[in-house]
Structure 1
Amino acid sequence: MAITKGAVVPNFKAKTQSGDSFELSNYLGKPLVIYFYPKDNTPGCTTQACSFRDQYQDFQDLGAEVIGISGDSEASHDKFAQKHKLPFILLSDSSKKIRTLFGVPTHFFGLMPGRVTYIIDKQGKVVSVFDSMKANVHIEHALKMIKKM
């Protein structure tokens, strides 16, 4: 079942691009942007990640943290983050457990993991779910929603 607006975001654990342990509950208390994307180093995903990078300070200034999640390995995330100087957390979901927990759909007949951005308030409540395969529109939506908080 997909997580929808108004739901409380479930806690989960994963590994970051640097191999560190991550637990979502340690990040509650501040606004969060959690975005799921298909794959490191693909044109759309690179555009999306670099857009979040370019406006990361705007999110930080509003007290928010940005977290990207895909099925790529920690090593792939590390190379992707270093290559594009990504300052935010990337989480490896190679087992697709987090994607399944959130109910992120697949596209193109189940061949491509979906691209969905969740905006979560300080209390852990989902205030927006934005589902679009257009990589360049997520950043604008996320920043607008964070500013409303």
Structure 2
Amino acid sequence: MTHAKHLASALALAALALAAGCDEPSGASGKAAEKPSETAGASAQPAALKPGDAAPDVTFKLHDGREVKLSGLQGKQVLVYFYPKDDTPGCTIQAKGLRDGWADLQAAGLEVYGVSTQDAQSHQAFVEKYELPFPLVVDEGGAISTAFRVPLRNELSARQSFLIGKDGKIKQVWLEVDPKEHAAAILAAAKS
């Protein structure tokens, strides 16, 4: 009986982690779950943004209290990447990949903003723990996710990324993101 209880508990924890979208460092099995058409309430979910669409004119509240208006970044390429939760396996791999490729991303003229629904304190701890050189956006109410049409599951953003061109229009969209390959994919797109 004890073994059965432990197994049931482990399965329940695994299900919760998968629902959060951060347990899959490779993104392999998490990819299908992150497609907007397969999320809860998908019928009410507007169509995903696509290349050529104007980027939403939102104001980012950063982990350090600063605010940045996205339209004020025109003339620069901007990566806005959404991730489910600070300091979880897949999200950490993704953030560390961007950190480790930072010199190349900067050389390509790219500004990077990570967005999730945790508060500023959680973001600050994540930035400090992994020495992230880019800001994290506080999206506690999900308004930024909604503006970018990123699905929320259990109040956590799906893992999606948007590369915005210098003209303020979406240049490339990743609705399925492999955290291990994310930085390389972003760099290649920024250079194209």
Return the TM-score normalized by structure 2: 0.72
Cα distance, 1:113 vs. partner? 2.7
The answer to whether 1:101 aligns with 2:147 is yes
Is contact 1:117-1:138 (8 Å) kept? no
Structure 2 residue corresponding to 1:92, chosen from 138, 151, 156: 138
Q: CA deviation at 1:133?
A: 4.8
Q: Which moved more, 1:14-23 or 1:41-50?
A: 14-23
**Matched residue, 2:76:** 30
Residue 48 of structure 1, CA deviation: 0.3
Structure 2: state its 5+ residue gaps: 1-45
Residue matched to 1:138: 182
The partner residue of 1:120 within 164, 182, 190 is: 164
Q: Secondary structure at the match of 1:34?
A: strand
**Aligned equivalents of 2:69, 2:104: Cα separation in 1:** 24
**Match of 1:38, as an amino acid?**
P
> Identity rate of aligned residues, in percent?
37
* SS of the residue 2:186 aligns to: helix
Q: TM-score, normalised by structure 1?
A: 0.92
Aligned to 2:173: 129
| CA deviation map 1:34-90 (0-9, x unaligned) | 100000000000000000001111111111111100001111111100110000011
Task: Compare the two structures and name the one with the higher helix fraction.
Answer: 2
Counterpart in the other structure of 1:4 = 50
Alignment of 1:13-24 (within 5 A): 13-24=59-70
| Root mean square deviation of aligned Cα | 1.3
Q: How many residues align?
A: 145
Say which structure is richer in strand: 1
Selected match of 1:43 from 86, 89, 92? 89
Does structure 1 retain, via aligned residues, the 8 Å contact 2:163–2:172? Answer: yes
Q: Secondary structure at the match of 1:57?
A: helix
Q: Which has the greater radius of gyration?
A: 2
User: Do the aligned partners of 1:62 and 1:146 also contact (CA within 8 Å) in 2?
Assistant: yes
Residues 34-43 or 13-22, more deviating: 13-22
Residue ranges of structure 1 left out of the alignment (5+ in a row)? none
